[in-house]
Amino acid sequence: MIRGYFGNALRNTVLFVIGSALIGQAGLGLALAWAFHRRRGWLREVVYTLVILAWIIPDVVVAFMWVAYLDRDQGTLNAVLAALGLSRVDWLIEHPLFSAIVFNIWRGTAFSMLLFSSALATLPPSYLEAAAVAGANAWQAFRDIILPSIRGHIVTDLILITLWTFNT
């Protein structure tokens, strides 16, 4: 067992990468891409715009924004909690790793969403139509048709966001 500062840093890094990149960004990106697959309308455009904005805003602006959002006394999140009758939380002191993971998920989901959206757009509609005719529900079609069809995109996404998250 690795102990001391190095062991703690290694543990936090692994938790950050697993929580942020593998579970958060890839999972949320795939969920958003699947939720808006073959859908049109203003809601899709608003969600895609907001997600991409989170990705293209400069790092310094995002950092100040999140510090302001998570501030114990004047932060937006604590104002909402207080309005609901809940106690204020000093997020950056009491839950620093969780706060950093949520921030990084919010920041990096756009890449995964765009990659998976383009992967889903390349699938022939007849695959899902045949699954529907065969009686497959949405989960079965996703598990048995979509995931195997976009396996290469998933691997590419996981490699890239893992490397980027380690860099962070």
Report domain extents, the chain. Answer: 4-167
The phi-psi region of residue 13 (left if phi > 0; otherwise alpha if psi is between -120 and 50; otherwise beta) is alpha
Residue 1 clears pLDDT 60, i.e. is over it: no
pTM of this structure? 0.83
Number of neighbours of residue 98 by Cβ within 10 angstroms: 12
pLDDT class for 55, splitting at 50, 70, 90? confident
Q: Which CATH number fits domain 4-167: 1.10.3720.10, 1.10.600.10, 3.30.420.140, 1.10.10.10?
A: 1.10.3720.10
d(CA 59, CA 41): 30
Residue 139 clears pLDDT 60, i.e. is over it: yes
- In angstroms, the Cα distances linking 30 to 66, 90, 136 are 24, 31, 20
Nearest CA to 128 out of 114, 120, 41 is that of: 120
Residues for the chain: how many in total?
Answer: 168
Nearest CA to 106 out of 27, 30, 24, 164 is that of: 24
Provide the mean pLDDT of the chain. Answer: 89
